Amino acid sequence: MSNKLSASVLALSGFIALAVAMGIGRFAFTPLLPMMQADAGLGLAEGGWLASANYLGYLVGALTAAALPGTPAAVLRAGLLLVVASTALMGLTQGWYGWMAWRFIAGLASAWVLVSTAALCLSRLAAVGRQALAGLVFAGVGIGIALAGLLCMGLAMAGVSSDHAWLLMGAIACAGAISARRLWASGPAAAMANAPVATPAGGQLRLIASYGLFGFGYILPATFLPAQARLLADDPALFGLAWPIFGVAAAVSTLLITRLAGLYTRRTLWIAAHIIMAAGVLFPTLAPGLGAIAVAAVCVGGTFMVITMLAMQEAQAVGGLRARHLMAAMTASFAAGQLAGPIFFSLTNTWFGAGLDFALELAAAGLLLGAALLWPAGTRRATDTGA
């Protein structure tokens, strides 16, 4: 990258890659769950197990992302191809075990794409002084979520079946993967100039643990917001809006956070995001209703990609030459946390009849503990090298 145009093209390619991998591969299941409940008879507990298959795949993908042979670009390319295939296969096959397999593969591939995209984009943008474009890269997740949610809302209103919706998502993912080819067909990432000395292992462990608690805290509302809204309103035009609101908030927040980057440290912003998310997770338990779910969608959606972006930037800044490995370790911790969330809900719901409110209250407590692990906030501004 030798000029502003190439940096912008790089950021846009990363934006598209994350929109495909995360907006579709990871999160299209959420707005599709009410449709699958309607035409496939899925219950919330069954939906939790399908979500958990995706989260288990994400965990395996995070554990293997840094150890796979080949360049980050090659891993990214493989991940995008698997996202396309596994999404389309959700619509081409019927049956519980097949769906479990495809959701697992989609999760695995999504982790490969996230870690590889972060490794490719953050180091290159930092090398040319265009760190602020990281906000555009990570906004891809929110835009992907919002577009998937709006599309599913429209398809549900038109009476389209969930299997046809999955096929359409697969076609869109294919188009997106091709559009991102400048990123996944590129060569090795530029070497980091003046690479920072890695933070001691103890400090890195706190980052890893906090990111894992974030995974546990956000995943229950992220999985069940549309289903919660559907219990309150049968009209797809109403309950279907929960997920697009979540996605728009995620996209806008990553762009707006760059305006605060020069005023506060990354960890200060990260701690604040944990607290706001915890409030959003709790709000529907305190004041049930569509309005509360909309507030939760804004609070959770408006912080979850901010936390992801800040965490990957912090890993890039403090991980030294092994930043990619720290990113993978943090992503694995996140994946373990989000895997535990739906399993915890499904087991307590099945065995003890516990409602979603109990799980959400525990998730909020986990988020606050994660914020405590990040204290003290540190002195590096979010615009420092590697941000």
Tell me the C-alpha distance between 168 and 172, whole Å.
6
Predicted model pTM: 0.83
Which distant-in-sequence residues (6+ apart) come within 8 Å of 20 by Cβ?
Answer: 80, 83, 84, 113, 144, 173, 176, 177, 180
Q: How confident is the model at residue 191 (pLDDT cuts 50, 70, 90)?
A: very low
More confident residue, 237 or 306: 306
Per-residue model confidence (pLDDT) at position 194: 45
Per-residue model confidence (pLDDT) at position 283: 87
Axis-axis angle for helices 290-318, 134-157 (nearest 10): 150
**What's the distance, Cα to Cα, between the start and end of the chain in Å?**
18
Q: How confident is the model at residue 386 (pLDDT cuts 50, 70, 90)?
A: very low
- Of 119, 26, 56, 6, nearest to 342 by C-alpha is 56
CATH topology of domain 4-189+198-373: Growth Hormone; Chain: A; (1.20.1250)
Decide if pLDDT at 102 tops 90: yes
Q: How confident is the model at residue 39 (pLDDT cuts 50, 70, 90)?
A: confident
Q: How confident is the model at residue 324 (pLDDT cuts 50, 70, 90)?
A: confident
Per-residue model confidence (pLDDT) at position 16: 96
Per-residue model confidence (pLDDT) at position 197: 52
**Count of beta carbons in the 10 Å neighbourhood of residue 210:** 28
More confident residue, 340 or 57: 57
Per-residue model confidence (pLDDT) at position 188: 47
Tell me the C-alpha distance between 337 and 274, whole Å.
15
Classify residue 74 as exposed, middle or buried by CB count within 10 Å of its CB (0-12, 13-18, 19+): middle
Q: How confident is the model at residue 127 (pLDDT cuts 50, 70, 90)?
A: confident
Give 246-285 pLDDT, tens digit per residue: 788 888 999 888 888 778 888 999 999 999 999 998 888 8
Give 195-230 pLDDT, tens digit per residue: 455 566 778 899 999 999 999 998 877 766 666 666
